[in-house]
Amino acid sequence: MRSASLQIVWGQWLARWIGIRAALAATWEQQADRVGLWSPVLVAAGIGLFFWLPRDPPSWMLSMPVAVAGVAFLVRRQGLGLVLMGRAGLLLTIGFAAAQAHSLLTAPVALRFPLPAAWYAAQVAAVGRTEAGYRLTLSHLQRDGVPVAEVGGGKVRLSLRSGPVPPVGSRVTVRAVLTPVPPPLVVGGFDTRLAQFFQGITAHGAVYDLRVIDPGEAPPWTRWRDGLAATVRSTVAGPAGDIAVALAVGDQTGIAEPVRQAMRDSGLTHILSISGLHIGLVAALVMLTVRRGLAVVPALALRLDTKKLAVWPTAALVLLYGILAGWDVPVQRSVLMTGVVLLAILIDRTPLTLRTVAVAAFLVLLGSPEALLNPGFQMSFAAVIALIAAYERIGPWVSGLRAAYGGILTPLIVLASSVLTSLVATLATAPFTAYHFHSIALYGIVANLLAIPLTGFIIMPGIVLGFLLLPFGLDAWGWQIAGWGINGLIALAAAVAAFPGASIPVAQFSGFALLLIVLAGLWACLWHGNLRWFALIPLAGAMGVIISTPPPLFLTGGSDAAIAVPRADGIVEIFGATPTSLPARALGAALAAREIIPMGAPDSHAACDPWGCRFPTLHGPLALQRHPGAMSDDCRDAWGIVTAIPLRLPCPAPAWTLSTQHMRRTGPVRATIQDRGVSLETTRQSGRRWQPPERPRAQ
């Protein structure tokens, strides 16, 4: 009897196992054509692993792809599971090695410590406008006729508040203070050091005096771009002219902050930077114009494939526009993506598919691994992937409606498609907007629904017309048309931004939560069928991480170690900086502040005197010191101390202490309550080439 029962149990388990194997086989058969779409995801995972490491890996790790390729070759016939693991490992190591190689080939080394004011000779590589004046990028820096070894052969970026602005290409002498590239303003914020390391910028500073010793001559291409920008500004007046310059030559430095803020609050800031939207519109306009022009000649239209013929001038003009726009990483990415689409047309493939996007992402990541960390890269690919995946699912249904009802529903279908496009793109980019910019534009869908047609039918056609008429001296017509559309865009942004609750502040959440959200989105978009529902697992995990993360006790950031303490009513109190300063605004945004006030203001919860402030907490007073006179009282009864004074005497009462000297060594700090003390989180990676080493502690 017992033997019969065991046989029944084993039979049930065997049947279940056979059923599981059959289900897995059926799933594999359904999903086999989608597996390749995960290749750039695995490459991105390898790149992300490289940038996550606290120290630079040894150079021998560059050979890992070769070793893993050998293992993958050996197991190529050992079963599907091992084959997939071998290929996944190969793609991971390729991404890791690509990022490491790119880092090693980027020669400059970051400035380690500040250099006092001195005279330097240099060449002006670039000039940009800022709210406070101008920003100069200098190359070939020399001191006393010798290259400045401390900046490692890189470029330096200096602020110039007033005085004559030297032209690009000129040789100058400057009296300036050089400082290391600043760390992120908040923990988990945009890493300026890493981004500028790959741009070859190794130091920042301020100009005290400047003399042009040789006006020199800018490269012809730079002179031409600067002249074109001046022409556009003279044709299109006011803020619209600054945006027209941004869309024509990629220079956003002239756009006023109120206009930027309105575009940000209305969800339209993506229109200001040349990206896939603009490159795609240029390609579509040129291709449509060329095809219509060829159709006018029946002899050509009947004998030639005008669609393929139009690809060549389209590719040439898209490349020219990309170079005019400055050829930075987002532009390169967009031009590459457009090139892949045009190539698909030439070889008779469907242009816009997830496979096309995968190829473009693979090439971009291998060419510029650091692009993975760029918000523009993340948002543009998220939007494109989500849109293509959405239209893969509803495309057949829409085609059925068109076939059944002909032109009756065409206007409604076009309107519904526009709404769906705006909705999908907004939802796909919302997690990145919330993570990087700490806000969500509540009415972004409505704003984009009106702004995208305005951009596609007036602004970008005007820009393209301006370029086409440039050789004939009639380009002002095109810039003027674009200006009309841009004025409408600015008015739209201002109107939407003025709506109550137009911009919803979002408190900073962890990068791990964003990673889980990205995994959920990719899982839902890249797979077929019911397997997509498993995307709910990482999505639920992300929500759990966000909800379970305790709010910070305080954040610090900025070169002066400003301290932001949040209150339960949404007000953030600032110590060590003015509420309108850049560090205060960044810290307030990370805390989703509805208002930022100085500590000690009439409605402040803190008690302040000339020596410092005390902020009440559940565990006792938090003491923020600015003068040694506060030390005796705070050491007697404060729960915690954040001080700008070196702690040289015993201070027994506080459960913890934090000095601004420590914060200047480690960069921004996020403090959360843990038991009766605090847990301090920093973003310090002193073992990376783009990070200066920690200063030794004073003895």
Structure-token pair, residue 37: 């779409």
444-497 confidence digits (pLDDT tens): 888 988 998 899 889 999 999 999 899 898 999 999 999 999 999 999 999 999
Residues in the chain: 699
In this predicted structure, what is the pLDDT of residue 647?
66
Compute the C-alpha angle 626/628/630, nearest 5°.
75
Q: How far apart are CA 509 and CA 491, in angstroms?
A: 33
- The residues facing 678 across adjacent strands are 673
CA dist., res. 612 & res. 492, Å (int): 46
CA distance 312 to 216: 38
Better-scored residue on pLDDT, 162 or 51: 51
CB contact at 8 A, 193 and 110: yes
Residue 204 pairs with which residues in a beta bridge? 157, 179
Give mean pLDDT, residues 290-296.
Answer: 86
Spatial contact of 231 and 479, defined as CB atoms under 8 Å apart: yes
Please tell me the predicted confidence (pLDDT) of residue 5.
59
Which pLDDT score, from 0 to 100, does residue 269 have?
A: 86
- Please give the pLDDT value at position 676: 66
In the predicted structure, residue 427 carries a pLDDT above the cut 80: yes
Cβ pair 108, 689 in contact under 8 A: no
Residue 468 burial by Cβ neighbours in a 10 Å radius (0-12, 13-18, 19+):
middle
Min mean pLDDT across 8-22, 351-365, 559-573, 632-646 is at 8-22
Predicted local distance difference test score (pLDDT) of residue 698: 42
Answer for the pair 694, 685: CB distance below 8 angstroms, yes or no. no
Q: Which two tokens stand for residue 575?
A: 């110590």
Mean pLDDT of the chain: 86
- Output the pLDDT for position 433: 92
pTM value surpassing 0.85: yes
Q: What pLDDT is recorded for position 100?
A: 95
Q: What is the spatial order of strands in the sheet that 554-557 belongs to?
A: 595-598, 571-575, 562-566, 554-557, 669-674, 677-682
Residue type, 343: L
Query: pLDDT tier at 295 (50, 70, 90 boundaries)?
Result: confident
Average pLDDT over every residue of 569-590:
91
**Of all helices (H) and strands (E), which one includes residue 321?**
helix 306-324
The whole-number average pLDDT for the span 568-593 is 91
Confidence of residue 699 (pLDDT cuts 50, 70, 90): very low
Q: What pLDDT sits at residue 6?
A: 54
- 3 state SS for 499-546: CCCCEEECCCCCHHHHHHHHHHHHHHHHCCHHHHHHHHHHHHHHHHHH
Question: What percent of the chain stands above pLDDT 70?
Answer: 92
Concatenate the DSSP letters of all residues of 206-242 into one string. Answer: EEEEEEEEE-----HHHHHHHHHHHHHHHHS-HHHHH
What the block records as the tokens of 366 is 């291998």
Residue range 639-686, pLDDT digits in tens: 888 887 776 666 776 778 888 777 777 788 898 887 767 888 887 666
